[in-house]
Amino acid sequence: MKRNDETNINQLKRDWRQLDELGEQSVSKVEVKELLHDYREKKRRTFYKELVIFLCTAFVILSSFAFSFVRAPGIFIVIQVGASLLPPIILFVLVKRKNKRGKTIL
């Protein structure tokens, strides 16, 4: 019985030392600021990269619409009518399909 108590006490002491060592391994404020700065810089680069991609895509789409309007106004009108009517129809079909399953989309 006494030996079992000693082993328990020794194990508890070892555990307390390990807990104390965990507390000593803290990160300094300078390291946290550097990590935060790196994270913000990475987010900023990602934002600018996505912005350039978005602007290039918008330019291509707008220039193709302008070209189609100048060269073939009939096609431009068909594209505009299709873009105006197709999304509500697709939304209606998706809502109806979800309601059949018993789930609501909105």
Q: Is the pTM of this model over 0.85?
A: no
Question: Could you count the other beta carbons within 10 Å of the beta carbon of residue 106?
Answer: 5
Instruction: Write out residues in the chain with pLDDT < 50, as ranges.
Output: none
b/e map 19-58, b = 16+ CB within 10 Å: eeeeeeeeeeeeeeeeeeeeeeeeeeeeeeeeeeeeeeee
Amino acid 2: pLDDT: 65
Q: What is the pLDDT of residue 104?
A: 55
Confidence at residue 9, expressed as pLDDT on a 0 to 100 scale = 86
pLDDT for res 69 = 77
